[in-house]
Amino acid sequence: MMTPKKSLQEIQLDLQSGDYSMSELVDSYLQYAKKHESLNIYIELYEEEVKKQANRIDQQIKNGAQLGALYGCVISIKDIISYKDHGLTAASKILDGYISPYHATAVERLLAEDAIIIGRTNCDEFGMGSANENSIYGPTKNGADEHRVPGGSSGASAVSVQMNTCLIALGSDTGGSVRQPASFCGVYGLKPSYGRISRYGLIAYASSFDQIGILGHGPDDIARVLEVSAGKDPMDATSASRPIDRYSADKVISNPKIAYFSSLIDHEKLEENIKNNFLQILEQLRSSGASIVEKGFEFADYLVPTYYVLTTAEASTNLSRYDGVRYGHRSESSSTLEDMYVNSRTEGFGKEVKRRIMLGTYVLSEGYFDAYFTKAQQVRRLITEEINKVLEECDFIILPTSTSLPWRIGEMKEDPVAVYISDMYTVLANLTGLPCISIPSGNNTDGLPFGIQIMSKKYSEHDLLALAKSLKSATT
Ligand code: GLN
């Protein structure tokens, strides 16, 4: 079985020189997907159409026709992003049988540049989770150790890249769902600035936090996919009209000033081996000419509570549309309209989603609105001001990606709060709307991957990817 190459540039050169055809390339991805079926990566593989599309590209190469910027790029999409005429469930029973009537803008843009979508990947229901265990399709397993979780909610997206079943995965990141699984599976994961990629066609979880994110083997491929998918979209009023940089162009970042927060690194929840790996990376950066600045940050213990108050509030509103009337699952055991709403939602939503709808409804209720929702909004503003102040002085902020290494499947099921706390380092980028990338930073002695995050000023994805690139060449 042919092992697919790991960069789009190499793939395109190979296709042009006839080393292999696009059809052979997709065959090998499909074979890898089947070989690793037991990891539960794909909800659906689009085998027949993928083969047809590959054939078309082979014909075009043969005829010397002009091809799009992403020919040769095979992408998996999380089952939360719309792909016209394909099933879409957000891993929830409530959307059972739903077929997407339109493309997400990001998907449309990728297809227009000749990317091929190989299938839709498993995830946590509506993106709610950190381990890919909250899915009607069952858990996805980590390719580094199949007794362990791949992270979440875009867990299967990360495994799809980790196990060479595609080159790129499109996920979504509301509080770390692209970066944390990337870190658990030893791949790269970028959450762009809020508004950089249109959210049109992305099933909403918490609208002021959600962003489509990109997972891949390296910053170069991610840059090329970002270049195509980013940009203003009339269908999403929150998409940024700022021009798109040429993220794939080389850029030198010399002697960057990088901040880290002692309160986050000395935090009791951070596992010792992750802390040591983090400190090692700091040393490496220092010796390659970066100045490392230690900063105080007084909001360490407010990150997770602020995130969960605000996202559950937004989720309770966003998920009110699933009422048994408009989409997917409708209960058959109801005699009145009211009953039908209640029964459809009771039968359709999983436990974690119900927990969050209830929490969100509570913090938005009349007697508690100011104490929780308004307060959390104020804290969000304070956190954002504080971080932006640090980024006026420094170019980047560096953080661990997760407080822990991938845990055993089932191990944390009964302790949702402990799982929430493990999101401490990733939610910061969503609370502030800033771009952030998770970079693989080694493995422990059992082969479990470590990851670190780098965050930068709003819309400075080019700098972020350039720094990630220089770190990659220093470590490989
Ligand atoms: N783990 C976080 C949560 O459960 C993040 C999820 C996400 O980014 N979609 O909310």
Cβ of 173 closer than 6 Å to ligand 1, yes or no, is yes
- The per-residue pLDDT for 280 is 95
CB 429 within 8 A of CB 436: yes
Q: Average of pLDDT values for 356-381?
A: 96
- The per-residue pLDDT for 472 is 74
The Å distance, Cα 286 to ligand 1 centre, comes to 32
pLDDT of 314 > 90? The answer is yes
- Nearest atom, ligand 1, residue 127 CA: 9
> Which residues does the annotation mark as catalytic?
78, 153, 177
- Nearest atom, ligand 1, residue 209 CA: 8
Given ligand 1 and candidates 307, 423, 426, 428, which is best to mutate, with the most ligand atoms within 8 Å of its CB? 423
- What distance in Å separates the CA atoms of residue 61 and residue 404, rounded to the nearest whole number? 46
Residue 476's pLDDT band (cuts 50, 70, 90): low
Cβ of 174 closer than 6 Å to ligand 1, yes or no, is yes
- What distance in Å separates the CA atoms of residue 325 and residue 348, rounded to the nearest whole number? 12
pLDDT of 3 > 90? The answer is no
The Å distance, Cα 280 to ligand 1 centre, comes to 28
Residue 328's pLDDT band (cuts 50, 70, 90): confident
- Nearest atom, ligand 1, residue 308 CA: 10
> Tens digits of per-residue pLDDT, 239-269?
999 999 999 999 999 999 999 999 999 999 9
The Å distance, Cα 428 to ligand 1 centre, comes to 12
Q: Average of pLDDT values for 161-182?
A: 98
Longest dimension (CA), the chain: 71
Q: Average of pLDDT values for 81-92?
A: 98
Sketch out the chain's domains with CATH numbers.
Answer: 1-476 (3.90.1300.10)
Q: Average of pLDDT values for 13-41?
A: 97
The Å distance, Cα 183 to ligand 1 centre, comes to 14
> Tens digits of per-residue pLDDT, 257-309?
999 999 999 999 999 999 999 999 999 999 999 999 999 999 999 999 999 99
User: Own/partner pairs for 2-6, CB < 8 Å, 24+ apart?
Assistant: 2/28, 3/28, 3/164, 4/28, 4/29, 4/32, 4/164, 4/167, 6/167, 6/217, 6/218
Q: How far is CA 60 from the centre of its chain?
A: 32
> Tens digits of per-residue pLDDT, 111-151?
999 999 999 999 999 999 999 999 999 999 999 999 999 99
CB neighbour list of residue 10: distance below 8 Å, 6 or more residues apart: none
Q: Is the peptide bond before 153 cis (omega within 30 degrees of 0)?
A: yes
- The per-residue pLDDT for 474 is 65
DSSP state of 282: H
Q: Can you list the alpha helix ranges (DSSP code H) found in 394-460? A: 416-421, 427-432
The Å distance, Cα 26 to ligand 1 centre, comes to 31
- What distance in Å separates the CA atoms of residue 125 and residue 130, rounded to the nearest whole number? 11
Residue with CA nearest ligand 1 atom 4: 129
- Nearest atom, ligand 1, residue 419 CA: 1
User: Euclidean distance between the first and final Cα of the chain, in Å?
Assistant: 25
Cβ of 402 closer than 6 Å to ligand 1, yes or no, is no
Given ligand 1 and candidates 80, 81, 124, 303, which is best to mutate, with the most ligand atoms within 8 Å of its CB? 124
Q: How many helices (H) and strands (E) does the chain have?
A: 17, 11
The Å distance, Cα 131 to ligand 1 centre, comes to 9
**Residue 433 Cα distances to 298, 386, 427, angstroms:** 19, 13, 10
Cβ of 233 closer than 6 Å to ligand 1, yes or no, is no
CB neighbour list of residue 260: distance below 8 Å, 6 or more residues apart: 282, 292, 293, 294, 295, 397, 398, 399
DSSP secondary structure string, 456-476? ESTT-HHHHHHHHHHHHHHH-
Q: What is the CA radius of gyration of the chain?
A: 21
CB neighbour list of residue 411: distance below 8 Å, 6 or more residues apart: none
pLDDT of 165 > 90? The answer is yes
Cβ of 176 closer than 6 Å to ligand 1, yes or no, is yes
CA-CA-CA-CA torsion for 21, 24, 30, 36, nearest 10 degrees?
Answer: -120
**Residue 318 Cα distances to 126, 136, 309, 449, angstroms:** 10, 20, 14, 34
pTM: 0.98
> Tens digits of per-residue pLDDT, 94-108?
999 999 999 999 999
- The per-residue pLDDT for 135 is 98
> Cα-flanking dihedrals φ and ψ of residue 19, to 5°?
-60, -35
Measuring CA to CA, which residue among 287, 257, 294, 306 is closest to residue 457? 257
Cβ of 193 closer than 6 Å to ligand 1, yes or no, is no
DSSP secondary structure string, 50-70? HHHHHHHHHHHHHTT----TT
Q: Average of pLDDT values for 28-34?
A: 97
Cβ of 127 closer than 6 Å to ligand 1, yes or no, is yes
Q: Average of pLDDT values for 199-204?
A: 98
Task: Indicate the average pLDDT of the chain.
Answer: 96
The Å distance, Cα 128 to ligand 1 centre, comes to 5
Given ligand 1 and candidates 92, 124, 153, which is best to mutate, with the most ligand atoms within 8 Å of its CB? 153
Cβ of 440 closer than 6 Å to ligand 1, yes or no, is no
pLDDT of 223 > 80? The answer is yes
Q: What percent of the chain has pLDDT over 90?
A: 96
- What distance in Å separates the CA atoms of residue 433 and residue 15, rounded to the nearest whole number? 38
Residue 73's pLDDT band (cuts 50, 70, 90): very high
The Å distance, Cα 85 to ligand 1 centre, comes to 27
Cβ of 171 closer than 6 Å to ligand 1, yes or no, is no
